[in-house]
């Protein structure tokens, strides 16, 4: 049994007994110890590996809220405003105007077979000074094949005339979500159900399978690994057999670079069927695949104006959002999985949704008391101090959507929440102060996966326009690093197994070019990720 000792510039362990070290010893995919070379030699004959001698090593990053769908969408061209990393490690450059998007897709169109639809994703017009994409733009790409450009929020899309004509959409079509211009003509912009329906119609139903097949999960794993992630969730999946098979196959490979935790979409079928199904899936777990999480989505999104808000509601007066799963169903489904010992992750964006989530857990505990359930509010973007105190009292965790501060902070400030609530959204400092165990997340593909960037958001709270959104909710770098490692592991009940560099834990590391505790906090997101180590196996990221 070989003992490999890695020498490093510095190891940040997240183990308070020994917060820093220079060397880490690995045997059988697990950590034998972190300390000095002399200390580690006490374990026996070691092989010294100096390839990380100038690197800084952290516990592998844990992304507590992402979707393998991120790997699915990379099958299609990315047309977002911000640069984004491809699964192959190359940069997909951000497109800075509607004309750039049209030019890129016109070039792509020429590579497609006759009759195929053109789908693209990641488009975000909020940075284009108010100009919206319209039919004239999209028709420049093609007038005969169906073209659908999905926005970064995945709730809005732009289509071309071919798509509208096929569906018979005209100025007289009176349907929610068909955007019309001042003259009453459809602009090709489609929202919510209309957007989703037309995208699936154009793509064909089989697209749903393509978006979470074995290849998709490989692409997802690669994108995650490039960002230093060693454990990632696929936090809402119905887990049809085809997906489960793909996940089992992918994770059986030595080269698969992450540990994957799918969360079972609990409301897709009744708990009477769902509980035994999940129990059966748990038996198929392997070193890199863990079925154990349950997900329930209560409300919509804040930027989509579909989050459930408490009084006084949206800053711009938009009526309250919608329930996907209302209070009654949440109680019923949560209790069913709670009773069986599962940990439930509850999507709650608005503060009314958080309230309903907290109360559902409270009721479940009254009926079926349970210790260390760690039911987690996912997003909890508007949770206030009082709600954090209730979460603490009930033994709940929070996973806060720090990336929102950057990507939509300006919109929240001006339109959805208003200044006061925008400044206290994604309240990491309040979570710390109240003692609620918390993680921070990206929700990929809604925003790109990149825990260092997510940590940078929680530390600096800067919006895309450069506004500081809530000085008082900033957290120190060390706390942000904990949130993307051990903190996130705790919210997934994996903290005894990974999340810190400590004797007996899995040898999962993020290998960084620089020291996140020594660079200026505003540079945190710019630290290069050399690669990762997963269970002792080294995964070097392709050089950029």
Partner 1 sequence: MTDPVPFTVIGGFLGAGKTTLLNRLLRDAGRRRFAVLVNDFGALDIDGGLVAAHDGDTVALANGCLCCTIGDSLVTTLLGLLERPERFDHIVVEASGVADPGRIADLAVLEPRLVRDGVVVVVDAVDVRERASDRRLRDTVMRQLQAADLLLLNKIDLAVDLAAVRCWISMQTAAPLLESKHADVPLDLLFGLDRAGGSSDESSAEAFASWSYEWSEPVERDALLAMLREARGGVLRAKGIVRFADSADRRSVVHLVGGRLDVSDQGPWGDTAGSRLVMLGLRPMLGSLPRETTT
Peptide bond between residue 398 and the one before it cis (omega within 30 degrees of 0):
no
Torsion angle of C-alpha atoms 44, 47, 50, 55, degrees rounded to 10: -60
Identify which range of 68-76, 167-175, 458-466, 484-492 contacts partner 1 by CB under 8 A: 167-175
Residue among 7, 76, 10 at smallest CA distance from 40: 7
The DSSP-derived string for 354-370 is: HHHHHHHHHHHHHHS--
Phi, psi of 452 (to 5 degrees): -65, -40
- Residue among 175, 252, 385, 393 that touches partner 1 (CB under 8 A): 175
- Minimum CB separation from partner 1 for residue 340, in Å? 17
- Residue among 325, 391, 452, 534 that touches partner 1 (CB under 8 A): 325
Round the CA-based radius of gyration of the chain to a whole number and report it: 23
| Residue among 113 and 319 whose Cβ is closer to partner 1 | 319
| Residue 88 in contact with partner 1, rule: CB under 8 A | no
| Residue 167 in contact with partner 1, rule: CB under 8 A | yes
| Residue 362 in contact with partner 1, rule: CB under 8 A | no
Tell me if 51 sits within 8 A of 193, measured CB to CB: no
| Residue 308 in contact with partner 1, rule: CB under 8 A | yes
Identify which range of 3-11, 104-112, 168-176, 501-509 contacts partner 1 by CB under 8 A: 168-176
Pairwise CA distance, residues 518 & 514, whole Å: 8
| Residue 280 in contact with partner 1, rule: CB under 8 A | no
Identify which range of 30-38, 102-110, 266-274, 528-536 contacts partner 1 by CB under 8 A: 266-274
| Residue among 49 and 359 whose Cβ is closer to partner 1 | 359
Question: And the tokens for 157?
Answer: 């899309």
One symbol per residue from 189 to 218: x for binding partner 1 (CB under 8 A), - otherwise; what is it? Answer: ---xxx-xxx-xx---x--x----------
For tokens 């009526």, the residue is 319
Identify which range of 14-22, 214-222, 322-330, 439-447 contacts partner 1 by CB under 8 A: 322-330
For tokens 């690994």, the residue is 225
Phi, psi of 515 (to 5 degrees): -95, 110
| Residue 116 in contact with partner 1, rule: CB under 8 A | no
- Minimum CB separation from partner 1 for residue 176, in Å? 6
Number of residues near partner 1 (by CB under 8 A): 42
CA–CA distance from 449 to each of 69, 195, 293 (Å)?
Answer: 12, 24, 20
For tokens 């919210």, the residue is 491
351-367 and 327-339 helices cross at what angle (nearest 10)? 40
Identify which range of 27-35, 255-263, 270-278, 464-472 contacts partner 1 by CB under 8 A: 270-278
- Residue among 49, 109, 181, 329 that touches partner 1 (CB under 8 A): 329
- Minimum CB separation from partner 1 for residue 33, in Å? 45
| Residue 319 in contact with partner 1, rule: CB under 8 A | yes
Q: Chain-centre distance of CA 170, in angstroms?
A: 37
| Residue among 355 and 473 whose Cβ is closer to partner 1 | 355
Angle formed at CA 282 by CA 276 and CA 288, multiple of 5 degrees: 155
**Neighbour count for residue 444 (Cβ, 10 Å):** 27
| Residue 50 in contact with partner 1, rule: CB under 8 A | no
End-to-end CA distance of the chain: 35
Identify which range of 117-125, 175-183, 382-390, 421-429 contacts partner 1 by CB under 8 A: 175-183
Phi, psi of 9 (to 5 degrees): -70, -45
- Minimum CB separation from partner 1 for residue 228, in Å? 31
| Residue 269 in contact with partner 1, rule: CB under 8 A | yes
| Residue 462 in contact with partner 1, rule: CB under 8 A | no
- Minimum CB separation from partner 1 for residue 536, in Å? 37
* Contact partners, residue 197, CB within 8 Å, separation at least 6: none
- Residue among 328, 362, 513, 540 that touches partner 1 (CB under 8 A): 328
Identify which range of 33-41, 165-173, 249-257, 441-449 contacts partner 1 by CB under 8 A: 165-173
| Residue among 229 and 333 whose Cβ is closer to partner 1 | 333
Residue among 273, 235, 267, 301 at smallest CA distance from 449: 235
Tell me the three-class secondary structure of 462-520, residue by residue. Answer: ECCCCCECCHHHCCCHHHHHHHCCHHHHHHCCCCCCCCCCCCCCECCEEEECCCCCCCC
Pairwise CA distance, residues 367 & 362, whole Å: 9
Residues that bind partner 1 (CB under 8 A): 166-169, 173-177, 192-194, 196-198, 200-201, 205, 208, 238, 265, 267-270, 272-273, 308, 311, 319-320, 322-329, 352, 355-356
């Amino acid at each position: 049994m070989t003992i490999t000792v890695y020498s490093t510039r510095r190891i940040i362990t997240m183990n308070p007994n020994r917060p820093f070290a220079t060397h880490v010893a690995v045997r059988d995919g697990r950590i034998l110890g972190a300390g000095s070379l002399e200390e580690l030699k006490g374990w026996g004959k070691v092989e010294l590996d100096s390839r990380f001698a100038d690197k800084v090593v952290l516990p592998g990053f844990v992304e507590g809220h992402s979707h393998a769908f991120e790997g699915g969408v990379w099958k299609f061209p990315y047309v977002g405003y911000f640069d984004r990393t491809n699964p192959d490690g190359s940069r997909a450059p951000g497109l800075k105007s509607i004309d750039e998007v049209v030019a890129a897709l016109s070039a792509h169109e020429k590579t497609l077979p006759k009759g195929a639809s053109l789908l693209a994703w990641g488009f975000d017009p909020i940075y284009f000074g108010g100009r919206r994409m319209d039919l004239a733009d999209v028709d420049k790409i093609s007038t005969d094949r169906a073209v659908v450009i999905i926005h970064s929020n995945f709730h809005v899309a732009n289509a071309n005339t071919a798509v509208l004509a096929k569906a018979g959409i005209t100025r007289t079509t009176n349907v929610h979500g068909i955007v019309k211009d001042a003259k009453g003509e459809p602009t090709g912009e489609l929202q919510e159900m209309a957007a989703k329906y037309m995208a699936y119609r154009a793509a064909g139903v089989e697209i749903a399978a393509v978006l979470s097949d074995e290849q998709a999960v490989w692409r997802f794993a690669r994108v995650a690994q490039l960002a230093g992630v060693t454990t990632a969730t696929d936090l809402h999946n119905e887990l049809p057999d085809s997906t489960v098979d793909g996940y089992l196959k992918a994770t059986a490979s030595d080269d698969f670079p992450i540990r994957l935790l799918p969360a079972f979409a609990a409301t897709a079928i009744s708990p009477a069927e769902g509980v035994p199904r999940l129990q059966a899936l748990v038996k198929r777990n392997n070193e890199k695949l863990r079925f154990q999480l349950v997900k329930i989505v209560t409300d919509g999104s804040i930027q989509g104006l579909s989050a459930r808000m408490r009084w006084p509601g949206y800053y711009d007066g938009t009526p309250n959002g919608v329930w996907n799963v209302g209070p009654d169903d949440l109680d019923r489904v949560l209790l069913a999985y709670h009773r069986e010992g599962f940990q439930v992750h509850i999507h709650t964006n608005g503060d009314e949704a958080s309230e309903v989530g907290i109360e559902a857990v409270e009721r479940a505990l009254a009926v079926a008391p349970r210790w260390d359930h760690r039911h987690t509010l996912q997003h909890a973007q508007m949770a206030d101090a009082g709600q954090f105190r209730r979460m603490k009292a009930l033994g709940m965790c929070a996973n806060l959507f720090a990336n929102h501060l950057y990507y939509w902070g300006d919109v929240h400030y001006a339109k959805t929440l208003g200044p006061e609530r925008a400044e206290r959204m994604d309240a990491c400092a309040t979570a710390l102060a109240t003692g609620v165990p918390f993680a921070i997340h990206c929700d990929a593909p809604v925003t790109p996966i990149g825990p260092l960037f997510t940590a940078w958001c929680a530390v600096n709270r800067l919006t895309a326009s450069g506004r500081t959104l809530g000085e008082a909710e900033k957290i120190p770098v060390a706390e942000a690093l904990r949130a993307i490692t051990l903190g996130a592991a705790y919210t997934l009940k994996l903290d005894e197994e990974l999340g810190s560099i400590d004797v007996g834990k899995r040898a999962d590391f993020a290998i960084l070019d620089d020291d996140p505790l020594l660079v200026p906090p505003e540079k945190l997101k710019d630290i290069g990720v050399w690669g990762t180590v997963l269970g002792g196996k080294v995964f070097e990221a392709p050089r950029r």
